[in-house]
Amino acid sequence: MIILGIETSCDETALCLLETRGAGASFECRTLSSLVHSQAELHSAYGGVYPNLAKREHGKNIIPLLHKLFIDSEALLRNATAPEASVEAHSSAGIADEHFNKVIDSFRTELSGQNPELFKAFSHADFLKSITGIDRIAVTEGPGLEPALWVGISLARMLSALWDVPLFPVNHMEGHVLGSLLPSEATNGAWHRLFDAQFPSIALLISGGHTELVKVKALRDYEIIGETKDDAVGEAYDKAARLLGLSYPGGPHLAELAHKAWEEKIPAPVKLPRPMISSKDLDFSFSGLKTAVLYAVRAAPKDPNGSLTEDFKKGLAHEFQEAVKETLDSKLKAGIEKAGARSIIVGGGVSANHVLRKKFEETAKEFDIPIFLPSRHVSGDNALMIALAGALHSDARTPVVLRAQGTKRIDEKS
Ligand code: KG4
Ligand code: ZN
């Protein structure tokens, strides 16, 4: 089976073609192509993601990215298990002009005003007529920024009508869980089985929009047992980084500064709080930590130009990361015990952080259970994890009317 994955929940336009075979324990997959176009640089001027700009950019970029996706995966697609799968760019075989025009007309009233960039690009995408052999489309329905989510959903609906293939809505956070069970995203033609996570597992999801502890009772069976009461951990990284004068998204830059403090043995200029570390529940809170960084920055000695000294910035970045690390780790440990977890899954953009990964690996060792951490490609937002989640859905054609669901929870049924 060949699945097209579409992800536009935030500031990454992402598409993937994934091929799968088998089911249950013998399920295997291989990536034909997985592309991500980041808008981060554009949003850095606003210090965060600006939803309507994200929507416009997705609308402008997603069709050219789709074209590139099919060109990139052409060789593997020709050898795909489904013998009819093929893409012959610019050939006239495949979908008749009449059908293509009919699909465009049927979406004109709805989309030409709502999403003109996408609608225009789709109307001129002649390469779509020569594509056959896609078996299903998986698209992120939420959580995320609704204007941005709508772009992926609208494209998915148009392609579903054009190719007459079923559509599967995917929860973005479930994508982060499943993505961490993928041994590789390599596009070298090799087939992979998912890591055999022992259930129940505890998933620690740490991203720009979410911080959650999820009990994974089985593949696709989730229960949120802890979550942030205010800011997400990635958001706290980004806000603290901004206070230190670093550009958006600040997480990786702050981590770099913290590393320098460690290398140069620069001490912490202040002690930051470890929020909710001794609370009995599994919830998190990061807005107080961000405020403590703000106060520390205000009170800090400045150089003659009124700027923070480099040593202060490094020392504070390191202390911030230590506070985050100790907080996340203590909640993870409590979560393992509460869920009776037999394995740990970590997912979301912040899981790219090496210091945090190392700590979680030590915790897994302490509990003598396996840990599954995402590869670099899969830790950030991507469509491979969305295609994978779509592949693991049941085979039934979903009768749902798709809509963006900005606050959809991982344990909420469709
Ligand atoms: O999962 P993701 O790509 O997007 C959301 O769904 O939110 O997560 C993005 C977040 C940003 O806040 C970014 O600063 C953070 O992940 N991030 C990091 C690192 N790399 C990305 N935070 C800390 N250390 C990193 N190395
Ligand atoms: Zn994400």
Summarised one tens digit per residue, pLDDT across range 144-165 is: 999 999 999 999 999 999 999 9
Question: Which residue owns the Cα nearest ligand 1 atom 13?
Answer: 251
Whether residue 381 contacts residue 140, with contact meaning beta carbons closer than 8 Å, is answered with no
- Cα 252 to ligand 1 centroid, rounded to whole Å: 8
Atom number, ligand 1, closest to the C-alpha of residue 250: 14
Atom number, ligand 1, closest to the C-alpha of residue 354: 26
Q: Among 237, 246, 257, which residue has the most ligand 1 atoms within 8 Å of its CB, making it the best to mutate?
A: 237
User: How is residue 297 written in tokens?
Assistant: 């920055």
Q: Is the CB of 380 under 6 A from ligand 1?
A: yes
Atom number, ligand 1, closest to the C-alpha of residue 380: 3
Closest ligand to residue 325's CA: 1
- Cα 375 to ligand 2 centroid, rounded to whole Å: 14
- Cα 382 to ligand 2 centroid, rounded to whole Å: 8
Q: Is the CB of 208 under 6 A from ligand 1?
A: yes
Instruction: Say what the pTM is.
Output: 0.95
Q: Among 11, 36, 176, 207, which residue has the most ligand 1 atoms within 8 Å of its CB, making it the best to mutate?
A: 207
Q: Among 228, 256, 350, 378, which residue has the most ligand 1 atoms within 8 Å of its CB, making it the best to mutate?
A: 350
Q: Is the CB of 352 under 6 A from ligand 1?
A: yes
Q: Is the CB of 348 under 6 A from ligand 1?
A: yes
Provide the pLDDT for residue 48. Answer: 83
Low-confidence ranges of the chain (pLDDT < 70): 81-93, 395-400, 414
Q: Is the CB of 7 under 6 A from ligand 1?
A: no
Q: Is the CB of 252 under 6 A from ligand 1?
A: yes
Provide the pLDDT for residue 91. Answer: 42
Residues 6+ apart with CB under 8 A from 193: 26, 27, 28, 183
How do beta strands 201-206 and 28-38 pair? unpaired
Provide the pLDDT for residue 44. Answer: 86
Distance of alpha carbon 308 from alpha carbon 333, whole angstroms: 36
- Cα 381 to ligand 2 centroid, rounded to whole Å: 5
Closest ligand to residue 379's CA: 1
- Cα 377 to ligand 2 centroid, rounded to whole Å: 12
Closest ligand to residue 348's CA: 1
Centre a 10 Å sphere on the Cβ of residue 406 and count the other Cβ atoms it contains.
Answer: 16
Question: Which residue owns the Cα nearest ligand 1 atom 23?
Answer: 251
Q: Is the CB of 5 under 6 A from ligand 1?
A: no
Give the model confidence (pLDDT) of 268-277 as tens digits.
999 999 999 9
Provide the pLDDT for residue 414. Answer: 66
Q: What are phi and psi of 302, to 5 degrees?
A: -110, 160
Distance of alpha carbon 248 from alpha carbon 49, whole angstroms: 9
Q: Is the CB of 175 under 6 A from ligand 1?
A: no
Sign of the C-alpha dihedral computed for residues 221, 179, 254 and 144 taken in this order: negative
Provide the pLDDT for residue 83. Answer: 47
Distance of alpha carbon 302 from alpha carbon 134, whole angstroms: 59
How do beta strands 12-21 and 28-38 pair? antiparallel
Q: Which of 29, 27, 32, 1 is nearest to 15 (CA)?
A: 32
Whether residue 7 contacts residue 382, with contact meaning beta carbons closer than 8 Å, is answered with yes
